[in-house]
């Protein structure tokens, strides 16, 4: 068991998934799923975690479970290869979290940089929900319940994986080798690590209205690309342009491949040449945007089409999730059995314990 390679990752269902999710993690997962290099792949919808900071809007979370499931299927996650499930349906995760809570201090949680920024972003300073504060612990349960070795995620998840590793080490030190230490798998392309919003702001976020969604229709994608933030000082075509902070070029870094040039912009051999021309001056934004739009349509078109197919049979999607939950529960429950055994709280199936107590009391 210990040397198996297992992938696990998940998303909070607080909205439809966008291309930041796609290049940051989703695309990679599908490749990993199909690579044949992993014994198992688990992908889940973290609804319980989403509730930790959306308790004023549980309906949003509920509605988005199916949206995320559709996005998964549309991107090519395949339920015959990956177990796709919903976090809240696996009660074993709660029990694991409860035991892990004893292995983490309040000050350790307070130092978690991701939690810190999220507290600021949500104006939680004065009243942090306990469940939100402790979600890194529950995330450690998500990961360890499936003995995941590999967690494909964005760099904002690094502190979570580190917290999970610490819990694993602490648990194994106290109770003996039981849990598996996970590793994060970051995107290999730097622009995929954190794709900016279409307005050039650091993060894509629904509230900023700067996302391109996987489910956006073709004309919406076209419009969003055409109105993207570039270099505000690049006014005339002849002006030299800046690449730094230029969203169109950041997206090209993330999405363009050599064959795209052959297909849509054969007068340039590669991205470096395109960049050089832009920097020199003489290359208009619209030309670059048209190129990016063509690439985006090529990438997103098939995803959008597949999504439409799955949307035609919503009950089948829920049924797929139900089956995924069943499989996931079996795995989580097997791990929980091992955890209880290691902690020696499996009183009723521990024959040694009873014999030991018989002996103790007969000696008194
Ligand atoms: N925290 C992750 C996010 O916000 C979602 C998540 C929950 C997750 N549990 C996980 C990711 C376990 C990877 C592994 O996107």
Cβ count within 10 A of residue 303: 21
Helix (H/G/I), strand (E/B), else coil: 294: helix
- According to DSSP, residue 213 is labeled B
Q: Is residue 190 part of a domain?
A: yes
Q: 102 falls in which pLDDT band (50, 70, 90)?
A: very high
**CA nearest to 255, candidates 299, 311, 196:** 299
Could you give the CA distance from residue 325 to residue 202 in angstroms, rounded to a whole number?
35
* Ligand 1 mean position, distance from CA 139 (Å): 7
Q: 76 falls in which pLDDT band (50, 70, 90)?
A: very high
The answer to whether residues 235 and 342 belong to one domain is: no
Average pLDDT over residues 171-192: 91
The answer to whether residues 164 and 286 belong to one domain is: no
Could you give the CA distance from residue 339 to residue 99 in angstroms, rounded to a whole number?
9
Is residue 69's pLDDT more than 50?
Answer: yes
Could you give the CA distance from residue 139 to residue 12 in angstroms, rounded to a whole number?
11
The answer to whether residues 79 and 162 belong to one domain is: yes
The answer to whether residues 174 and 302 belong to one domain is: no
Q: Is residue 205 part of a domain?
A: no
The answer to whether residues 43 and 61 belong to one domain is: yes
Q: What is the pLDDT of residue 364?
A: 67
> Which residue out of 97, 141, 160 has the highest number of ligand 1 atoms within 8 Å of its CB and is therefore the one to mutate?
160
The answer to whether residues 172 and 39 belong to one domain is: yes
User: Tokens 């995803």 identify what position?
Assistant: 303
Q: What is the pLDDT of residue 248?
A: 95
The answer to whether residues 331 and 344 belong to one domain is: yes
Is residue 165's pLDDT more than 50?
Answer: yes
C-alpha 239: how far from its chain's center? 40
Q: 182 falls in which pLDDT band (50, 70, 90)?
A: very high
- According to DSSP, residue 197 is labeled P
Q: What rounded mean pLDDT belongs to the chain?
A: 93
Taking CA atoms only, the protein residue closest to ligand 1 atom 8 is 10
Q: What Å distances lie between residue 297 and 226, 267, 292, CA to CA?
A: 13, 20, 9
Is residue 107's pLDDT more than 90?
Answer: yes
The answer to whether residues 336 and 302 belong to one domain is: no
Average pLDDT over residues 351-362: 91
* Ligand 1 mean position, distance from CA 357 (Å): 43
Residue 240 maps to which CATH number? 1.10.240.10
Q: What is the pLDDT of residue 1?
A: 47
Q: What is the pLDDT of residue 288?
A: 95
Q: Is residue 336 part of a domain?
A: yes
Torsion of CA 301, 304, 306, 308, to 10 degrees: -140
Q: What is the pLDDT of residue 141?
A: 98
Is residue 2's pLDDT more than 80?
Answer: no
Residue 82 maps to which CATH number? 3.40.50.620
Q: 84 falls in which pLDDT band (50, 70, 90)?
A: very high
Per-residue pLDDT of 206-236, as tens digits, reads 888 899 999 999 999 999 999 999 999 998 9
Q: What is the pLDDT of residue 347?
A: 93
Q: What Å distances lie between residue 234 and 230, 240, 249, 255, CA to CA?
A: 8, 7, 14, 23
Which of 84-93, 104-113, 149-158, 203-212 has the largest mean confidence? 84-93
The answer to whether residues 174 and 242 belong to one domain is: no
Q: Is residue 250 part of a domain?
A: yes
Q: What is the pLDDT of residue 276?
A: 95
Q: How many domains does the chain have?
A: 2
Q: What is the pTM of this model?
A: 0.93
The answer to whether residues 59 and 89 belong to one domain is: yes
* Ligand 1 mean position, distance from CA 212 (Å): 21
> Which residue out of 94, 114, 142, 156 has the highest number of ligand 1 atoms within 8 Å of its CB and is therefore the one to mutate?
142
Q: Is residue 185 part of a domain?
A: yes
The answer to whether residues 66 and 117 belong to one domain is: yes
Q: What is the pLDDT of residue 247?
A: 95
Is residue 188's pLDDT more than 90?
Answer: no
* Ligand 1 mean position, distance from CA 11 (Å): 5
The answer to whether residues 19 and 63 belong to one domain is: yes
Q: Which domain holds residue 261?
A: 218-310
């Amino acid at each position: 068991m210990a040397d198996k390679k297992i992938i696990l990752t998940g998303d909070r269902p607080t909205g439809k998934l966008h291309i930041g999710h796609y290049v940051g993690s989703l695309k990679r997962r599908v490749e990993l799923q199909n690579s044949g290099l992993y014994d198992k792949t688990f992908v889940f919808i973290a609804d319980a975690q989403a509730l930790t900071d959306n308790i004023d809007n549980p309906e949003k979370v509920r509605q988005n479970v199916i949206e995320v499931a559709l996005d998964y299927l549309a991107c090519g996650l395949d339920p015959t290869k990956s177990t796709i499930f919903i976090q809240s349906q696996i009660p074993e995760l709660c029990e694991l979290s409860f035991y892990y809570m004893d292995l983490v201090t309040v000050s350790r949680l307070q130092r978690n940089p991701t939690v810190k920024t999220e507290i600021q972003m949500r104006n939680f300073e004065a009243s942090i929900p306990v469940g939100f504060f402790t979600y890194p612990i529950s995330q450690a349960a998500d990961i360890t319940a499936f003995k995941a070795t590999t967690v494909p995620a964005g760099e904002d998840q690094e502190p979570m994986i580190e917290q999970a590793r610490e819990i694993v080490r602490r648990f194994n030190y106290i109770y003996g080798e039981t849990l598996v230490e996970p590793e994060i798998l970051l995107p290999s392309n730097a622009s995929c690590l954190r794709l900016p919003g279409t307005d050039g702001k650091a993060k894509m976020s629904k509230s900023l209205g700067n996302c391109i969604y996987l489910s956006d229709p073709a004309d919406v994608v076209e419009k969003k690309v055409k109105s993207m933030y570039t270099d505000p000082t690049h006014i005339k075509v002849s002006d030299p342009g800046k690449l730094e902070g230029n969203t169109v070029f950041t997206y090209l870094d993330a999405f363009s491949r050599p064959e795209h040039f052959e297909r849509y912009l054969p007068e340039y051999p590669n991205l470096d040449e395109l960049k050089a021309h832009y920097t020199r001056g003489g290359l208009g934004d619209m030309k670059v945007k048209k190129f990016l739009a063509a690439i985006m349509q090529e990438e997103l078109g098939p995803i959008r089409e597949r999504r439409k197919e799955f949307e035609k049979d919503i009950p089948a999607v829920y049924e797929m999730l139900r089956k995924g939950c069943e499989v996931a529960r079996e795995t989580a429950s097997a791990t929980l059995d091992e955890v209880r055994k290691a902690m020696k709280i499996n009183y009723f199936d521990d024959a040694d314990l009873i014999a030991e107590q018989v002996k103790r009391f007969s000696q008194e």
